[in-house]
Structure 1
Amino acid sequence: MKEICSKLNNLHIGIVGCGWLGIRMARKWQIKNDLYTTTTSPDKIGALTFQGLNPRLIDFNTDNSTVDILTWEVVSSLDVLIITFPISSRKDQDRNNIKRRIHNLSKFIGNFDGQLFFMDSTSVYPDEQKEFIEDDISIENVVAEYLLRAAYPEVNILRLGGLMGDDRQLHKYNVSNLDAPVNHVHFEDIIAIIEKMIENRSRSKIYNIVAPVHPTKREVICEQTGQPYKEDKREIGRLISSRRLMEELDYHFIYPDPRYFILS
């Protein structure tokens, strides 16, 4: 495993939604920074507290007519705030649900004016056989991004590919369409890109974050399981490009090829 050292020092960082990705961010950064987290699960409070991650229990799906959400008591001291919980999903594009979550989030983080990051998904792009760049789907056409940018004009929006690394390996999942290319990203690259954006004081950016190499699902699974690979056919497929962030940030992926994520 490549050991990637954090460049962040002496920052107060908030992670709203400390799930699979959020906990990996927090563990990386807590050595030299102060971390504050949220969770929707009462069962996680004890573990997050034990790890020194200063958790707060909050559910942004709450009907605000019955529960009053108060501003996070630490928000005024935060330098960086990262939103990782799903404001919308493929299964839930209901505008009213999205508006309620953003309304509740806005009450929770108030007038935060530090560096703000929103982790969205490349699922915003249609299932078409072409390469997509950020401008192909504008923020105005993604309800969650549009409403969040309206409330916080300087939010950085990161559209993440399929999250992989550690225990997340493609061969563990029930996978269909094995000849389609993958659009995956290693969590270490997401962390490193956010670090670079913090260092650059980036604001109001929108980036796809996807490993630049796009092998087929079959190639990835064969590599992970040690099986021989024989290419029968390969779809043109739906490809998500990270060229913009690579050029603007001068970023070189730690794990550019999803076939070798298993080595991490």
Structure 2
Amino acid sequence: MKKTGIIGYGWLGARIANALSGKYTIYATTTSQEKAAELNAKGINTTCAGFPDYQLTETYPQWNEIKKLDILIITIPVSEKSCCVSSLYNRIQHLSSFIGDFKGQMFLMSSTGVYPDISKEFTEEDVPLEKVSGERMIKNRYPQANILRLGGLMGDNRLLKNYNVSNPDFAVNHIHYADIAGILFKMIEDGTENCLYNVTAPMHPAKFQVLDAQKNRVTEVEEETGIKGKIVLSSKLVSELEYIFQYPDPRKFHEIPQE
């Protein structure tokens, strides 16, 4: 059974681990000693590790488990929105020290936030990874890395109705976590490397349409009427991976049973 490391066992990391645990042996990192002990007690080999955005006096220690791993999934933030470029550089340097010269299959969870907030349909070519500092730094160090630009993470307790919503007539670029796990599984099984994909559900209703569905209200306008804002397309992923989304319509995410 292949061994998979998940750096960042947060909301998304936990769900990826749960989806892959029957197929791969899971190793993980978390920033809390208490959580690491809890996960170890559940049989998930977990190391406590954080990656500060400031310089350290000593080199960040390497992960003891890294040489065992076939696959590495990075879910910690490596975007300029999480910190400035110099701080981001420090964080990625510490991450690189932690995983060393890992040669296996690698996945970096990035974000569709790299695209500007303008009313346009975006593909990966509109913002090459060379223009995104975190993505570029990772790729320069690990050329085999796959970069997945995730839309708004949804599923379980994450529903649009639970948030303060602005611009209700703007399109959503959401993705159900089950499809993230499904895409990862497909790419792992295919041995995919060195790819950049947008990961968003193929349907992009307006926020008010999603809210109406979640609150059992009738939407009074047609699907394509009055929708504004950016739309991030996942058509490259669908074409190249031949992936079929389990949950293509964000208006139905609330109907999916919680785990």
- Cα RMSD between the aligned structures? 1.4
Question: Under a length normalisation based on structure 2, what TM-score does the superposition of the two structures give?
Answer: 0.94
The answer for the alignment partner of 2:27 in structure 1 is 36
1:186 corresponds to which of 176, 184, 204 = 176
Q: 1:107 to 1:50 in 2, by over 3 A?
A: same
Query: What TM-score do the two structures reach when normalised by structure 1?
Result: 0.92
Residues 234, 89 of structure 1: alpha-carbon distance in 2 compared, 3 angstrom cutoff: farther
Q: How many residues align?
A: 254
Offset, 1:25: 1.0
Within-5 A mapping of 1:226-237: 226-231=216-221, 234-237=226-229
Amino acid corresponding to residue 42 of structure 2 in structure 1: Q
Q: Please give the alpha-carbon distance, in whole angstroms, between the structure 2 residues aligned to 1:87 and 1:129.
A: 25
Are 1:26 and 1:53, in contact at CA under 8 Å, matched by a contact in 2? no
**CA contact under 8 A between 2:123 and 2:232: conserved in structure 1?**
yes
CA–CA separation in structure 1 for the residues paired with 2:78 and 2:32? 17
Aligned partner (choices 106, 123, 143) of residue 116 of structure 1: 106
Query: 230, 237, 244: which is aligned to 1:238?
Result: 230
Identity of aligned residues (%): 43
- Residue 61 of structure 1 corresponds to 52
1:90 matched to 2:81? The reply is: yes
- 1:70-219 equivalences in 2 (<5 Å): 70-92=61-83, 94-219=84-209
- Give, in angstroms, the shift of residue 33 of structure 1: 2.3
For 2:231 and 2:189, locate their aligned partners in 1 and report how far apart those are by CA, in whole Å. 29
Residues of 2 paired with 1:91 and 1:32: CA distance?
Answer: 32
Could you list the structure 1 runs, at least 4 aligned residues long, displaced by more than 6 angstroms after superposition.
none
- Alignment check: 8 A CA contact 2:16 2:181 kept: yes
**In 1, Cα distance between the equivalents of 2:37 and 2:212?**
39
Cα 1:79/1:133, change in 2 over 3 Å: same
Q: Contact conserved, 2:107 with 2:148, CA < 8 A, in 1?
A: yes
Equivalent residue number for residue 262 of structure 1: 254
Residues 1:249 and 2:241 are matched in the alignment: yes
* Aligned counterparts of 1:196 and 1:32: Cα–Cα separation in 2: 12
Of residues 24, 39, 62, the one that matches 1:48 is 39
Compute the displacement of 1:42 (Å).
Answer: 2.5
Q: Identify if the C-alpha distance between structure 1 residues 62 and 235 changes in structure 2 by more than 3 Å, giving closer, same or farther.
A: closer
> Structure 1 residues 114, 184: CA separation in 2 closer, same or farther (over 3 Å shift)?
same
Would the aligned equivalents of 2:6 and 2:73 in 1 still touch at CA under 8 Å? yes
Q: In structure 2, what residue type is equivalent to 1:214?
A: H
Unaligned runs of 5+ in 2: none
What is the CA distance between 1:50 and its match in structure 2? 2.3
Alignment gaps of 5+ in structure 1:
1-9
Question: CA 1:236 to 1:62, structure 2 compared with 1: closer, same or farther past 3 Å?
Answer: closer
For residue 56 of structure 1, give the secondary structure of its aligned residue in structure 2.
strand
Q: 1:156 touches 1:206 (CA, 8 Å); kept in 2?
A: yes
Q: Quote the Cα distance in structure 2 between the aligned partners of 1:147 and 1:69.
A: 17
